[in-house]
Copies of this chain bind each other. A is one copy, B any other.
Amino acid sequence: MLTRSDIQEWFEALQQNICSQLEEADGQGKFINDNWNRKEGGGGLSRVLTTGRIIEKGGVNFSAVWGKTPEPVLKMMKLEADNHPDFFATGVSIVMHPINPMVPIIHMNVRYFEMSDGTWWFGGGIDLTPHYVNEEDARYFHQTLRSVCEAHHSSYYPEFKKWADDYFFIRHRNETRGVGGIFFDYLKGENGFTKESRFEFVKGVGSAFAPLYTQLMKSNHNYPYNEKEKQWQFLRRGRYVEFNLVWDRGTKFGLDTDGRTESILMSLPPQASWEYNHQPAENTAEAKTLSFLRKGIQWA
């Protein structure tokens, strides 16, 4: 029988494993360790890499927290506060901001949530935000995710790909954050799925991250780039900030429930820029990238 400790331990090992693989691929940057405790129960380990050879700023966070369920969670779950249920949540969250604008930003999250009434669910996602969309990379990324999904259920990829398109969307810009990926939440023990089978899928997603991203690091970090392309990267990072601070439910939830600010906001880039009403000229690589930032593109 799968326990919360089993899941927590697997996530802890995943964090270490991913950090090792990223350090090896970077060849220079080292993750620092920052342990923290949560007053109301639990804590986490934030691991942050800066000034790497390929990664400029990246974070791989693990946390396992518990206690009285926060008000916003009860509201979200439409539960009565009178029951005063306890919760347990554990997960790994990753964002990588590379130096070279030809290397994409990546994000991954896997998480498990459990309430004292016995309900539980898994959630997570992985999405790619290229500063310049490389179609071959986008196809490789989605094909890999499709394979991971199909090893567990035929409905997963189409359903979770669409969910990512809808979730990683910057409404006020009418742009997707990048080329999407997969997003899933509230994966429960229903319709023939068990806690074990859901966990196997989440393990598949978590394990796919490092090979996928280190491959994209290797194949792109030697591309030459100029000052203009660096400037475009800063503008795209500005959009990343807008998504995370305005629309990302995880960030909102963390800040609303007095989560650990530095761990929540490790997703923000080392620098970002804003230019009033910036529009790339027609037929440029920048304009081409914007044309890919929309929902519903079938990359795989």
Contact = CB atoms under 8 A, between A and B. Distances in A.
B255 A277 contact: no
A96 interface: no
A164 interface: no
A61 B271 CA distance: 26
Instruction: Please name the 6 residue pairs, one residue from A and one from B, whose CB atoms are nearest each other, closest first.
Output: A245-B245, A268-B274, A172-B255, A48-B276, A172-B261, A262-B277
21 contacts: A34-B277, A48-B276, A57-B276, A59-B276, A171-B255, A172-B261, A172-B264, A172-B265, A173-B261, A238-B268, A241-B272, A242-B245, A242-B265, A246-B246, A265-B274, A270-B273, A270-B274, A270-B275, A271-B272, A271-B273, A272-B272
Interface in A226-275: 234, 238, 241-242, 245-246, 255, 258, 261-262, 264-266, 268-275
Q: How many copies does the complex hold?
A: 2
A143 interface: no
Contact of A276 (B50, B172, B234): B50
A48 B276 CA distance: 8
B246 A241 contact: no
A57 B277 CA distance: 13
A139 to B, nearest CB: 31
A270 B265 CA distance: 20
Interface residues of A, number: 32
A116 B231 CA distance: 47
A274 B269 CA distance: 6
A238 B262 CA distance: 13
Contacts of A172: 255, 258, 261, 264-265
A241 B239 CA distance: 12
Contact of A246 (B245, B269, B274): B245
Contacts of A34: 277
Contacts of A258: 172
A276 B272 contact: no
A245 B242 CA distance: 7
A27 to B, nearest CB: 21
A269 B273 CA distance: 7
Contacts of A59: 276
A34 B268 CA distance: 30
A238 B57 CA distance: 15
Given A172-B258, A172-B264, 11 more contacts: A34-B277, A50-B275, A57-B274, A172-B255, A238-B268, A241-B241, A245-B246, A262-B276, A270-B274, A271-B273, A272-B272
Contacts of A265: 172, 242, 274
A53 B171 CA distance: 35
B266 A276 contact: yes
Contacts of A234: 271
A260 to B, nearest CB: 10
Contacts of A274: 57, 265, 268-271
